[in-house]
Structure 1
Amino acid sequence: MKKWIIILISMILVVSGIFISVYLRALSPVKAAQEKAVAIAEKKVQFSKIDNFHIYNGNETVYVIEGKSKKGEKIITWIPLKTKQVVVLKAKSGLSKEQAIKKLEETKNPKKIISVRLGMEKMIPFWEIYYLSDNNLINYYYIHFQTGEWLKKIENL
């Protein structure tokens, strides 16, 4: 009986180790991209803290860094991978995530919001809202980060 318990615990540990290894390897390209983006961005702005990093893949790939400057201001940095032209804006100069959702709800009736994230195309920063409509169709709604104006939408996919 003891032998089976030891074998079972050993198997659980081995399987857990494999899962952890695969997970860490899957994250390594994103970590490398974040390090690259921070190195590019720090030529223009110094971060005291990085709160969020993600990669926007639309018409072009854009690295987006949300964090705090050395002065303690919340800032957002967009870095198009092709041009590496860094755009830095204070978070308070544009809409918050919640304000972007309210803008969507003023014109649409989303059943479920899947994700809300920052992106950029043609050097225009925006909020991309990915949501499901009442009939469970996928929709994307793009709102200008600074003005709150609707930029484009992709509906009923």
Structure 2
Amino acid sequence: MYKWLAIFLACIFIMAGIGGCVYSKAMEPVKTGRADAEARLYSETDIKNVDEFYLYNGSQTYYVVIGKDSKGTETVAWIPDSKKEKVHVKKLSEGVSKKTAVNKLLNEKKTKEILGVRLGMEKNLPVWELSYLDENSNLNYYYIHFDTGKWWRKIENL
């Protein structure tokens, strides 16, 4: 009896170790990308402190940082994965707030649960991407222009 219990526990520990190794290897590109994005952030923008960091995978990968510049102004930087493209920078006050974007979604759609709200960039257009579950637990994406607060696109019933 104890022999089988020992074998079972050994298998659990081995599986946990393998799972940890796989997770660590899978997260390596994200960590490297973040380090590269932060290096570009500090060399190409005036942002001094990072408050929020988003990884946005749309039609192109962007690292989005919200932080404070040297004057203490909250600023957003969209850092493209491609080093050939320039970093886009805007003051957070120039666009729609996260709260306003969420309220627009709640006013227009019946949501069961909001899964995530993040800034992204699509076709050189800064957007808020809101992912949520509807009443039928279908996954949906709702995109709002950061600059104007108007609806841009939605992907429904995934």
**Alignment TM class, shorter chain as reference:** 0.7 to 0.9
Q: Name the counterpart of 1:156.
A: 157
Gaps spanning 5+ residues in structure 1: where? Answer: 1-10
Query: Hey, what's the Cα distance between the residues in 1 that align with 2:144 and 2:24?
Result: 34
Gaps of 5+ in 2: 1-9
What are the superposed Cα offsets for residues 7-43 of structure 1, whole Å, 9 maximum, x if unpaired? xxxx9xx999988777665544323212211222334
Q: Does 1:140 align with 2:141?
A: yes
Q: Quick check: 2:114–2:132 contact (8 Å CA) kept in 1?
A: yes
Counterpart in 1 of 2:34?
34
CA RMSD, Structure 1 to Structure 2 (Å) = 2.5
Deviates more, 1:71-80 or 1:139-148: 71-80
Matches of residues 1-157 of structure 1 in structure 2 within 5 Å?
A: 26-82=26-82, 83-157=84-158
Instruction: Tell me which stretches of 4 or more aligned residues in structure 1 moved more than 4 Å.
Output: 14-27
**Separation (CA, whole Å) in 2 of partners of 1:71 and 1:16:** 47
Contact 2:42 2:48 in 1 (8 A): no
Q: Counterpart of 1:42 in 2: which secondary structure?
A: helix
Mapped partners of 1:114, 1:65: distance in 2 = 20
Q: Which amino acid aligns with 1:148?
A: G
Matched-pair contact (CA < 8 Å) for 2:66–2:74: yes
What count of residue pairs does the alignment treat as equivalent?
Answer: 151
TM-score (norm 1): 0.80
SS of the residue corresponding to residue 44 of structure 2 reads coil
Task: Please give the alpha-carbon distance, in whole angstroms, between the structure 2 residues aligned to 1:76 and 1:24.
Answer: 29
% identity of equivalent residues = 45
Deviation at 1:68, TM superposition (A): 1.2
Please give the alpha-carbon distance, in whole angstroms, between the structure 2 residues aligned to 1:33 and 1:58.
Answer: 16
Q: Give the TM-score normalised by the residue count of structure 2.
A: 0.80
Would you say the 8 A contact 1:40–1:84 is kept in 2?
A: no
Task: Give distance in 2, aligned partners of 1:31 and 1:50.
Answer: 15
Letter in 1 for 2:70: K
